[in-house]
Structures are given as structure tokens and as C-alpha cells.
Amino acid sequence: MWCGHERHRDHGLPCFHCDPRGYIRMVQHLIEKCLVLRMSWDDTVHALARRAGIRPLITLTVWKELLKENRSFFHEYFREISIRPSVCESLRPSYSIH
């Protein structure tokens, strides 16, 4: 769906105002990509804000709904990411101060 909002016109992504369901599905899809990368909710919120321009409140709201629908998955997910570093963490350069 095309809208008059300049930001979405060029790339055809759903607009929160014109296509809220499509926008929420897009945010859910992006969150799922972050989960595959084993990102924490904080990393996910920051990544979507920085890279996709999605407001943190929207990301957190969608994340909470996913959590409600998939409690057992997220329980295991949080347990796993607390044990092993995420893909993003393993790709970050490590700096030592001497």
C-alpha cells in the first residue's frame, strides 16, 4: 500500500499510519531475524531503531506480544543466550587496554 509519507514512498515498505497490520508484520519479521542472530531484546530494539527507523516502543510492543504467544520458546531462548554469546557479540572486535 502506497502512502503520502515521504519516508516509505521510495522503498515500498508498509507505513505504520497507512498499513498498521503490514507494519506490525514487518516489525515481527525483523524481530525474528534478530532472534536468529541470537540478539537480546535490548540489541534488537537498538538495531531496529538504528537500521530500520522503527520506534523502540513499537518494537517492544511487538516483542511483548510475541513473548505472550510463545512463552516456552522465549524462556528457552533467554536461557540459551545467557549461556552462549550471540552472533553479533562474536563478530564484534575485542579491544584490550594495556
32 inside domain: yes
Question: In the chain, how many domains are there?
Answer: 1
d(CA 75, CA 11): 36
What does pTM read for this prediction?
Answer: 0.68
Give the pLDDT of residue 6.
52
Give the pLDDT of residue 1.
40
C-alpha cell at 38: 541470537
Which residues, 6 or more positions from 48, have their beta carbon under 8 angstroms from its beta carbon?
27, 30, 31, 34, 54, 56, 59
Range of the structural domain that residue 60 is part of: 14-84
Q: pLDDT tens per residue, the chain (98 residues)?
A: 445 555 555 555 677 767 789 999 999 999 999 999 989 889 999 999 999 999 999 999 999 999 899 888 888 888 888 776 555 555 554 444 44
91 inside domain: no
8 inside domain: no
Instruction: For cell 531484546, name the residue.
Output: 41
22 inside domain: yes
d(CA 4, CA 50): 23
24 inside domain: yes
CA angle 1, 54, 92 (to 5 degrees): 130
